[in-house]
Amino acid sequence: MFRVLDLPTEGVPAERDDDAGVAPPPRGTIRWIDLLAPEPAGLTLLQDRFGFDPLAIDDCARYGLQSKLDDYGKYLFAVIHAFTPSSDPEVAIQIHEIHAFLGDSYLVTVHDNPLPAQDDVWRAAVADPTVLGRGASWALYRTVAAMLGAAEPLVAAITASLDDIELAQIAESRDVDLGEVLRLKRTITGARRVLRPLRDTLGTLHRRNDPRLSPRAVLHFRDAADHVGRLAEMVEDAREVASTIVDAHGAVQAQRTNEVMKRLAIVSAVFLPLSFIVGFFGQNFDDLPYHSTGIFALVLVTMVLIPAGLMEWFRRNWL
């Protein structure tokens, strides 16, 4: 589904929802075209009317790419990612991938699922002429900034959750929910796969001396790259905390296993001499004094003193 937003010179933004505006804008007009859930017919229409390279159109038909920036001469093609909390309890984050064609006077964005952050920017552009009035690159920056702003609370929440778990594990010696920690760690891994390529892409974008990027947009893309860098550092820190929690949990479980094995070894050591005494005097030989009251008393005393002595020795030297 296409939607088109035009800003004529000294005019007001005009929004439309048909295919007629899917074309390069007339001179003096800034145009933003947004395509949601692209089908082959929609991508073919973009290619026919804008002359986009088949490689870029092919990228728009595939999702799961890394963030990147390609220069096709007349336009820049960028793949940008972000993420938001997922409504599915089995999946912590929903990754959003947006493909953008940036020309001198137009911006074409293509994505496969709704982007609330971009919708906010679109509504702002409809209400405020300065969004598109500062150039198509400014609308792209506003979209990137909104996507990052939506992702930051999720990263902060994951970091806070892991900090709380680690504090409880250390200060209160509380058992951790290993399943929850592993779920958070998997979420961190997904966020890390998004942020690292995005940081490089935005870094490349703001360092370009490109006429399609307004000076104001270049400055703010640098700020966006720094923002991604901070998020990436937060994710790396959270990843280290999650790994530490998992390692500490394994160490605690190993220590508890060792304690159990120690107690079992003590029990075995205590009963071993008793088993020997009972087994020795239980042999069926004629020379063993079965009718000796003194030997019987000695055996009973021995069966009490030896375990008591062993327990005292273990208490002093091992427990």
Q: What is the pLDDT of residues 249-278, one digit of tens each?
A: 787 778 788 878 888 887 887 788 878 877
| Domain co-membership, 136 together with 284 | no
| Domain co-membership, 80 together with 211 | yes
| Domain co-membership, 53 together with 103 | yes
Is residue 257 included in any domain, yes or no?
Answer: no
| Domain co-membership, 74 together with 215 | yes
Domain that holds residue 108: 2-252
Q: Dump the DSSP string for 257-306.
A: HHHHHHHHHHHHHHHHHHHHHHHHHTS--TTS-TT-HHHHHHHHHHHHHH
User: How many independent structural domains does the chain possess?
Assistant: 2
**Per-residue pLDDT at 165:** 84
On whether the pTM is more than 0.85, the answer is no
- Is the pLDDT at 298 greater than 90? The verdict is no
* Cα separation, 295 vs 81, whole angstroms: 86
Average pLDDT over residues 125-138: 91
pLDDT tens digits for range 224-236: 999 999 999 999 9
| Domain co-membership, 165 together with 145 | yes
Indicate which CATH number applies to the domain containing 59.
3.30.460.20
| Domain co-membership, 178 together with 270 | no
**Per-residue pLDDT at 291:** 73
**Per-residue pLDDT at 91:** 67
Confidence label for 289 from pLDDT (cuts 50, 70 and 90): low
Q: What are phi and psi of 73, to 5 degrees?
A: 90, -75
pLDDT tens digits for range 167-210: 887 776 667 778 888 888 888 888 888 898 998 898 888 777 78
